[in-house]
Structure 1
Amino acid sequence: MRIGVVLPSVEVQRRDRLDLATAARHAEDAGLDSVWHGDHLATGAPTVECTVALAVAATATHRIGIGASVFVPALRPLVWAAKAVAGLQLVSGGRLLLGVGSGGGPAQWAAAGVPFRERGPRTDTALRLLPRLLTGAPVTLPDGAPVTLAPGVRVPPLWVGNASAVAIDRAARLGDGWFPSLITPDAVAAGRERLLGTASRHLTITIGAVAALGEAPGTPTRADLAAGIAAAYRHTARDAADIPLTGGPAEAADRVARYAASGATHLVAGVSGPDWRTQVDLLAEVRRTVRT
C-alpha cells in the first residue's frame, strides 16, 4: 500500500509556520509516497490554486509523487487545463498523479462561468482528449478548432474521483483508476466489483482518507471525525465511524490493511491535529507498519 498526504491548508500553514515547499520536503524525508493538493476556486476558505501549489511541491522535492486530489479540468478551457497539467508533469520530472473530478457546488461553477449542468459532459471530454493533448498529438477540439501543444509529455495516470456509480463507470470508460474519498472498506470492495464488471483493463484504486494520529492534546478523536464525515457526506453514523484513521500507527495500519484487502493500492490522507509535521511522521510510521 502506497500512502500519501494532503499538503497543509493555508490556515494550517499559518498556524504551524510552514510553507508548501517545506511541507513537501518533510513528507518526502519522512518516507511517504506522495503529496497532494485539492482544486478549489470559490469555496470561501483561503486556498492556493492547485497547479501553483503542486508546482511548488514538485520543485522542492526529488522523489515523491505529486498529486491532484482532485483536479477539475471542466472548470477551465480544455487546452489551458492540458497546458497546466503538461507543465506540472514537466517540472516534476514525470512524477504527477492526476486525480480528475467534476465536483464542487454550483457557486464554484458559476464563478468559473461554466453551467453546472455541463460538468459531466465537459469532464468526459477532458478525459477523452487530455491524453492526446498532453503527448503533443494533433487534436480537434469539440468546436472544430485544431490544436497541438508543445512540448509533449508522458501522460500521468488519470484517476477518476468520487464514489458514485457514475464516477465508477466514468473511470471504467475513460480513466486509469478510481479515486473515491471517505468511504468504508466494504464500499471500496463493492466499487471494485463494479469496476471489474465494466472495465476492459486493470484499474488502480486510490482511497482518500482522513487521519488524526496519536494522542497529543488537541488531536481530534474518532468520534469527532466521524461526526464531521456523517454530516458532510451523508453517511450513517456506523459507516462514518468506520472511516477515520486514528490511534497509534499499529491501530491505523490495521485499518489501512482493510482497505488494501478491499482492493486499494494507494491511500491519500488529509491529516488533522495540533502539528502537521507530527501527523506526517506518524503517517509514515503507519506506512512502514503496513509494509511489514
Structure 2
Amino acid sequence: MRIGFSVPQFGAFADPDLVLGLSRALEDMGYDSLWVGDRILGPITPSDPYPGGDGTMPQQYATHLDPLLALTLAATVTERVRLGSSTLNALWQPPVLLARTLTTLDLVSHGRLDVGIGLGWMRDEYTAVGVEWAGRGNRLEETLDLLEAVWTSQTVEHQGELWSVPASRIFPKPVQRPHPPILLGGFSPAGLERVGRRGNGWLAAAMPLPYLTGLWSQALRAAEQAGREPSQLRLVVRANPTITSSPADPAETFARGTVGQICDYLRSAVEAGADEVFVDPQLTTSSPDEFLDLAQEFITNLRTG
C-alpha cells in the first residue's frame, strides 16, 4: 500500500513556511507521496453546489496557495516522496504554458511528479478565468494532446480547434519518459472512459466501496476496449474526512469517523483495487501541531494495522 498526505495549502495552512516545514516532516514520517488541490475563489453565492456534504463549499477553500508553487516548495525540501495534484484544473491556462510549468516542476523534483488533472465542478471559477464552461471535455482532450506533444516530440507542431502551435523546438523535456504520469479525475461515464483510453490512472474520491469499484470497472473496461492493458492503470483514492473522537456510523466512514475507522476504510479500498490512498485533514483541523499528530497517527495505523 502506498500512503500519501496533503501538502498544507488551504485555510489556516495557506502559509509557505508551513509548506516547507510540514512537507519535510511528512517525508521523514515515511509517507510515499504529497498532494495538492486546486481552487481559485470562494463565491458568496456559488453557481453550483459543492459535491459533498450538504452542498456548501468548505470555507477553507476560499484561502489557498497556488498548487504548483506549493508543490515546488515541497520539492525543494524533500528527496524521496512523489508529488501529485488531485486535481489540477488544467483548463484554466493555455496547455503550452502548463506544459512548461509541469516540465520545470518535474526537473526541480528530479522526476517525482504525478500530474493529476480534472475539470473542476464550479462554473464561477471558469467565468473568473475567462474559459468557457461548455465544451470542457473537448478542451481537455486537446490539452492532453498538446501536453503530450510538448513532452515527447523533438519538433512540436499542432493545429487544433482551440490552439495552434507552429513547428517549434520546445526544451527541456521532463525527467520522466515519455512524460510524467497523467492521472485523470472525473466520475461521469465520459470521464471514466477518458481515464481508460488515455490516462495512466484515475484520481478517485473516498466513497462507498460499491460505487468506487463500479466506477473503477468502467475505466478498466474502457482501457481494454482501447487496446490498452488495464492492469497498468493506477487507482488513487483521496480522503477528506471529518475526524471524530467517537465512532461514526460504519456506513459513513468514507467521509467521517475516528482515525481508526478512516484507516479501516482505506485498507478496504486497497483490498478493492486501490494502489494508493492519501488523506487531507485540512477541513478538520487548523492547527499545524494537530496536522502533524494526525499524520503520525494515520501512517502508524496504516503501516501496522
- TM-score, structure 1 as length reference: 0.84
Structure 2 residue matching 1:117: 3-state secondary structure: coil
2-structure distance, mates of 1:265, 1:255: 14
* Equivalent position of 1:9 in the other structure: 9
* Equivalent position of 2:52 in the other structure: none
* Equivalent position of 1:193 in the other structure: 217
Structure 1 residue matching 2:149: 3-state secondary structure: helix
1:100 aligned to 2:117? yes
* Equivalent position of 2:46 in the other structure: none
* Equivalent position of 1:138 in the other structure: 155
Contact 2:241–2:256, Cα closer than 8 Å, also in 1: yes
Residue 245 of structure 1, CA deviation: 6.0
Cα distance change on mapping 1:79 and 1:14 into 2, 3 Å = closer
Residue 205 of structure 1, CA deviation: 0.7
Higher helix content, 1 or 2:
1
Matches within 5 A, 1:13-92: 13=13, 19-43=18-42, 45-92=62-109
Matches within 5 A, 1:114-153: 114-135=131-152, 137-141=154-158, 142=160, 143-146=163-166, 147-153=168-174
Unaligned segments of structure 1, at least 5 residues: 224-237
Q: 2:263 aligns with which of 253, 256, 260?
A: 253
Which structure 1 residue ranges, 4+ long, deviate > 3 Å from structure 2? Answer: 211-215, 220-223
Number of residues of Structure 1 aligned to a counterpart in Structure 2: 269
2-structure distance, mates of 1:245, 1:31: 24
Cα distance change on mapping 1:18 and 1:186 into 2, 3 Å = farther
Cα distance change on mapping 1:192 and 1:13 into 2, 3 Å = closer
* Equivalent position of 2:48 in the other structure: none
Contact 1:213–1:279, Cα closer than 8 Å, also in 2: no
Structure 1 residue matching 2:86: 3-state secondary structure: strand
Contact 1:205–1:265, Cα closer than 8 Å, also in 2: yes
1-structure distance, mates of 2:67, 2:263: 29
The one-letter code of the counterpart of 1:190 is G
- TM-score, structure 2 as length reference: 0.80
- Percent of matched pairs sharing the same residue: 25
**Larger displacement relative to structure 2 (56-65 or 36-45):** 36-45
* Equivalent position of 1:209 in the other structure: 239
1:280 aligned to 2:300? no
Residue 163 of structure 1, CA deviation: 2.4
2-structure distance, mates of 1:103, 1:2: 25
The one-letter code of the counterpart of 1:13 is F
Deviations 1:224-251 (A, max 9, x none): xxxxxxxxxxxxxx96x141363244x4
User: Over the residues paired in the alignment, what is the CA RMSD in angstroms?
Assistant: 2.4
2-structure distance, mates of 1:108, 1:73: 12
* Equivalent position of 1:176 in the other structure: 200
Cα distance change on mapping 1:171 and 1:213 into 2, 3 Å = same
Residue 65 of structure 1, CA deviation: 1.0
Residue 11 of structure 1, CA deviation: 2.5
Deviations 1:60-112 (A, max 9, x none): 11111111111122110110111111111010110011111111411111111
Cα distance change on mapping 1:171 and 1:222 into 2, 3 Å = same
2-structure distance, mates of 1:110, 1:14: 24
Cα distance change on mapping 1:46 and 1:189 into 2, 3 Å = same
1:165 aligned to 2:189? yes
